[in-house]
Amino acid sequence: MKDFYKKLLCFVITLLLFPQNLFAENEKKLLWGDLHVHSNFSFDAYSFGNTTLGPDVAYEFAKGLPVRAPNGELAQLATPLDFLLVADHAEYLGLFLGLERNDPNLRTSGLGQRWLNYFKSGTQSPISREYVQMIERQKNIELLPEAFNTSAWSQLLEFADRYNEPGVFSALIGFEWTSMIDGDNLHRVVVYGDGSEKAKRMLPYSALNSPDPEDLWSFMGEYEKLTGGQVIAIPHNGNVSNGVMFSDKRVDGRDFDASYSAARQRWEPLYEVSQVKGDAESHPYLSPNDEYADFETWDQGNLRMEPKSLEMLEGEYARPALKNGLLLSEKYGVNPFKFGLVGGTDTHNALSTADDENFYGKFVDSLPSAERTSSTLGDRLWDNWRLSASGYTAVWASQNTREAIFEALKNKEVYTSTGPRILLKFYGGWDYEEEHILQTDFFNKKAQVIGVPMGGDLDAPLNDKKPKFVVKVSKDPKSQNIEIVQIVKGWADNTGEVKEKVFTIGKSENKSGSKNFNLIWTDKEFNENERSFYYVRALEVPSKRWTSFDQDRFGVDLSSETPKYIRERVYSSPIWYSPNSQSSD
Local mean pLDDT, 10-residue blocks, the chain (585 residues): 48 42 64 98 94 97 95 92 98 97 95 95 91 87 96 98 98 96 92 97 97 98 98 95 94 96 98 94 96 91 74 95 97 97 96 93 91 82 90 97 98 98 97 92 90 95 91 97 98 94 96 96 96 98 97 95 96 94 55
**CB contact at 8 A, 186 and 245:** yes
Residues 35, 415: Cα–Cα separation, whole Å = 12
pLDDT value for 7: 47
Give the containing element (helix H, strand E) for 34: strand 29-37
Residue 385: CB atoms within 10 Å: 20
For position 406, what pLDDT does the model report? 98
Q: What is the pLDDT of residue 256?
A: 97
Cα 286 to Cα 327: distance, rounded to the nearest angstrom:
17
Identify the pLDDT of residue 198. Answer: 98
Closest of 422, 573, 566, 568 to residue 487, by C-alpha: 573
Q: How many CB atoms lie within 10 A of CB 273?
A: 28
CA nearest 387: which of 538, 545, 537, 569? 545
Whole-angstrom CA distances from 236 to 19, 35, 183, 241 are 44, 11, 14, 9
Task: Give me the amino acid identity at 325.
Answer: G
Q: How remote is the C-alpha of 557 from its chain's centroid?
A: 33
> How far is 334 from 511, CA to CA, in rounded Å?
44
Question: What pLDDT shows up at residue 515?
Answer: 97
477, burial (CB in 10 Å: exposed 0-12, middle 13-18, buried 19+): exposed
Q: Please, what is the Cα angle at 460 between 456 and 465, to 5 degrees?
A: 110
Supply the DSSP symbol for 436: G
The span from the CA of 484 to the CA of 290, in Å, is 13
Euclidean distance between CA atoms 102 and 107, whole angstroms: 9
Report field, pTM of the whole predicted structure over 0.85: yes
For residue 51, give every residue at least 6 positions away whose Cβ sits within 8 Å of its Cβ, in sequence order, or none: 40, 70, 96
Distance (Å, whole) CA 191 – CA 565: 34
Burial 61-76 (b: 16+ CB within 10 A, else e): bbbeeebebbeeeebb
- Between CA 585 and CA 337 the distance in angstroms is 10
CA dist 368 and 69 (Å) reads 10
